[in-house]
Structure 1
Amino acid sequence: MTAPPAPAETQQGSPELLRSVFRQHAAGVAVITAAHGGRPAGFTATSLNSVSAEPPLLSFSVGTGSSSWPALAASDHVGVHILGEHQREVAGLFARSGADRFGPSTAWRHGPHGVPLLDGVLAWLVCRVVARVPAGEHRVVIAEVIAGDPLGEGRGQGRPLLYHGGRFNALRD
């Protein structure tokens, strides 16, 4: 009879422990956008969550040191874009610090309340910000859904982009 494997060593709470565990967690990929002073801003988020159906609320987190934070801190409305597996480059662009996120390679338009809306996404929402909750060096933004398109430009066709193991990935059958 063989002995059962020894349990893994328990680690104390740390930023690296949190990052290591969440590398094992697959998350959907979204881009959050806002406009402030006529200038669009946006970032890639894997922290998007449904909060409530009544009223329709969602949340995401954003670092207060990010280049998008000033626009998100000042904006009353945000755009939430669900990316498809064909949009790895878009996810990478909006995740990269210092990138020209709304340059010539990004197809977008002004949506309700002046929110920048990305073209080619699986689905999008425009939301009214209702709270910005401090959480360490981040803010958890809670927003109420006011408009959107659940089918996106592909009219419901396409598969979501995922983030797992530090990389953008496609679903596998």
Structure 2
Amino acid sequence: MTASPELATTQSASPELLRSVFRQHAAGVAVITAQGEKPVGFTATSLNSVAAEPPLISFGVGASSSSWPVIAGAGHIGVHILGEHQQDLAATFARSGADRFALPTSWRSGPEGVPLLDGVLAWLVCRIIDRVPAGDHRIVIAEAVVGDPAGAGRPLLYHQGRFNALRD
């Protein structure tokens, strides 16, 4: 019996396999922010809608991330859905060691003191209700408190390790 072509490249589970598989999964791009002694934020492709009633979201954050200590103690976070015109902003918030809130990043202090980014497609301020350990990450579950869905434009996507725009 010979292996089928579909199984010829089967690999054992590993971090590399997981990354390779998820490079095939196009995901929306968000930036999560929180306020500590100074504002923190990071680019996330793990944002999910969890429930409509109550309105819950979730996202993953690395336990070794520079943002994690602030998020671990924060009561509220900001969730920003990025538009295709914001590839540079996504890259800034994905870059380790960057001063993410310096110019040219345009932002303001929003409800609950959460840093809100300007020019996004939509944003939410959410109250954190749980932080769940998950391997080398934490899954944060939060309830939407206030937001604005009225930004203009098309969403930014992440696929094959790059930020992309939708094609018509």
Residue 36 (structure 1) shift? 1.0
Identity %: 73
Q: Counterparts of 1:37-52 in structure 2 under 5 Å?
A: 37=37, 39-52=38-51
Residue 6 (structure 1) shift? 2.1
| Residue 102 (structure 1) aligns with | 101
Q: Equivalents in 2 of 1:120, 1:144: separation in Å?
A: 23
Residue 161 (structure 1) shift? 0.2
Residue 151 (structure 1) shift? 1.0
Q: Counterparts of 1:87-126 in structure 2 under 5 Å?
A: 87-126=86-125
| Residue 22 (structure 1) aligns with | 22
Residue 104 (structure 1) shift? 2.0
- 3-state SS, counterpart of residue 43 of structure 1: strand
| Residue 86 (structure 1) aligns with | 85
Q: How many residues align?
A: 164
Q: Equivalents in 2 of 1:27, 1:53: separation in Å?
A: 20
| Residue 167 (structure 2) aligns with | 172
Q: Deviations over 1:28-47 (max 9, x none)?
A: 0000000013x100000000
Q: Equivalents in 2 of 1:106, 1:83: separation in Å?
A: 13
Q: TM-score, normalised by structure 2?
A: 0.96
- 3-state SS, counterpart of residue 72 of structure 1: helix
Amino acid corresponding to residue 25 of structure 2 in structure 1: H
Q: Equivalents in 1 of 2:17, 2:136: separation in Å?
A: 17
Where does the alignment leave 5 or more consecutive residues of structure 1 unmatched?
none
Q: Equivalents in 2 of 1:56, 1:123: separation in Å?
A: 15
Q: Counterparts of 1:134-153 in structure 2 under 5 Å?
A: 134-152=133-151
Q: Equivalents in 2 of 1:9, 1:113: separation in Å?
A: 50
Where does the alignment leave 5 or more consecutive residues of structure 2 unmatched?
none
Q: Counterparts of 1:40-79 in structure 2 under 5 Å?
A: 40-79=39-78
Amino acid corresponding to residue 24 of structure 1 in structure 2: Q
| Residue 159 (structure 1) aligns with | 154
Residue 9 (structure 1) shift? 2.4
